[in-house]
Amino acid sequence: MSKQTVRDLDVKGKKVLVRVDFNVPQAKDGEVADDRRIRAALPTLNDILGRGGSLILVSHLGRPTGDPAKDEPFRLNKVAEKLSELIGKPVKKVNDTVGPEAEAAAKQLAPGGILVLENVRFNKGEKKGDVEFAKKLAGLADAYVNDAFGTCHRDEASMVAVPEQFPTGHRAIGFLVEKELQILDTLLANPKSPYVAVMGGAKVSDKILVIENLLKKVDKLLVGGAMTYTFLRAQGHSVGNSRVEADKLDVAKHVLELAGPKLVLPVDHLIADKPAAGAETKVVDGPTIPEGWFGMDIGPKTIELYSQVIKDAGTVVWNGPMGMFEVEAFAKGTKAVAQAMADSSAVTAVGGGESAEAVEKFGLAEKVSHVSTGGGAFLESLEGKSFNSLKVIPERG
Ligand code: ADP
Ligand code: MG
């Protein structure tokens, strides 16, 4: 069960439309604030160029409103500049995705050339999955590669209707998507035991389907972050002012029953008198948070316990920070889990917006097996969902 990859395409002298996910964080001045997603696409791009193909790149950036004046910051100009710097080659950028300027530039593209099209979400047809729009976009190139893992859970035109316009032999996934799918296969179908999931972050409700699906597979599920307090509340404990989803207590009870002893809750907590920098903090043992206090991070005994379980694991998947790590005083638990993942000889995978950000921030991204480039796509994969964007790419013959 493996998809046709860019390796299987004959790209010599061909124009290859690569759907990349260059939806990068932007600084206030519009500069690329974090180029991780651009760097992640380079293996695919260099492979095509190295074999004598040319590149037509298509991506979205941010959430354009449809009002051209407001959408100026969502143009891909800075992204194209950053790509040129990282790949060490000239990059041509046009101001439309389809239409005369894009067509002319695509026609003139010579082998080894790189063309970046304008933000694909400037076109209404993109979100709608419009076939007429897809035909125009597909008409620019000879082959299609999906290397946009972070967008794979979307049915937008450039993800589904565009590849459908190419003969099946001219569609493939890129190396980034291939790598993400390989790690997901390990996590969902072939984990080495003991298999441990670490779940944290803001809400139980965001993660409920992931938790339910992973409970079928893992040996242990270690819980941290704010969702801890919804579970503790569901068990009948007082949690002071900690963040609780009061309307999700039934869901939390159901998960606790389903999980039995597999689900491990923190044995101690770092609490604070306010959920902000400069707060007074202390550590409490046991499941009760005193009145007027906020549970902000897992405590030192929990750190010890979780770190040991992670180090003894065969496979670890982690989503959701253990505390409000953005505030230094509440970052210890998240840092310790990241460090334990880095030190473990297990297959270690991290996914989710803030979780990936935390691992990067602590400088440990290179020390874990994989940091997913997809937040939503990673979580929906862990829920057991399959994506139309990948169904349209054939299996290898
Ligand atoms: P991810 O993006 O990795 O899936 P989430 O979006 O679920 O993670 O949650 C991340 C957020 O949860 C972080 O911004 C963090 O500040 C917050 N958080 C974690 N623990 C707590 C806590 N105990 N109290 C309040 N907020 C918390
Ligand atoms: Mg998040």
Out of 198, 324, 326, give the residue to mutate to test ligand 1, the one with the largest number of ligand atoms within 8 Å of its CB. Answer: 324
Q: Which of 183, 167, 205 is nearest to 320 (CA)?
A: 205
Query: What's residue 1's pLDDT?
Result: 64
Residue 354 alpha carbon to ligand 2 centre in Å: 5
Query: What's residue 302's pLDDT?
Result: 98
| 126 Cβ inside 6 Å of ligand 1 | no
Would you list the DSSP string of 47-92? HHHHTT-EEEEE---S---S-HHHHGGGSSHHHHHHHHHHHTS--E
Q: Please give the positions annotated as active site.
A: 37, 203, 353, 376
Q: According to the annotation, is 63 in a ligand binding site?
A: yes
Pairing of strands 294-298, 268-272: antiparallel
Q: 182-382 maps to which CATH number?
A: 3.40.50.1260
Query: What's residue 297's pLDDT?
Result: 98
Parts of the chain belonging to CATH 3.40.50.1260: 6-175, 182-382
Q: According to the annotation, is 60 in a ligand binding site?
A: yes
The pTM for the full model equals: 0.94
| 266 Cβ inside 6 Å of ligand 1 | no
Query: What's residue 102's pLDDT?
Result: 98
Domain 6-175 matching CATH 3.10.620.30: the answer reads no
Is residue 363 within 8 Å of residue 330, measured between CB atoms?
A: no
Distance CA 179, CA 166 (A): 23
Query: What's residue 68's pLDDT?
Result: 86
- Residue stretches of the chain with pLDDT short of 70: 1
Determine the atom of ligand 1 nearest the C-alpha atom of 324.
16
Distances (CA, A) of 366 to 338, 343, 361, 372: 11, 12, 12, 12
